[in-house]
Amino acid sequence: STAALAFAMLTQSFLLVGVFPYSGFLAMHLVPSLDEDSAGRFAGLIASSFMVGRTFTSFLWGRAADKYGRTFSIEASLLLSAVFSVLFGLAP
């Protein structure tokens, strides 16, 4: 339905921008030599990794949609996004 698709798009948008507030702190945690002034570049790399992953897997998801159907592909991608978002949030 249209409402479910709209909710899915809202969720994906939140996953995309949800990392921005703490990506600088994550960069400083992952690279101990960084300080608050130099963490922005690495924070951008962390934040853009989501879109890079979407870019490289978009053709694979297109093939999966052709082979298994759009509904399966959307449900699988949402489930995997949720799982990996939780794992990203729980990472030390």
User: Residues 57-86: pLDDT tens digits?
Assistant: 889 999 999 999 988 988 888 888 888 888
Predicted confidence (pLDDT) at residue 91 exceeds the cutoff of 80? no
Q: Which residue has the tokens 């052709």?
A: 66
In the chain, DSSP finds a helix count (H) and a strand count (E) of: 4, 0
How many whole angstroms separate alpha carbon 73 and alpha carbon 88? 22
pTM metric for this prediction: 0.65
User: Residues 1-55: pLDDT tens digits?
Assistant: 788 778 888 887 887 777 778 888 888 888 888 888 888 888 888 878 878 888 9
Structure-token pair, residue 65:
């949609």
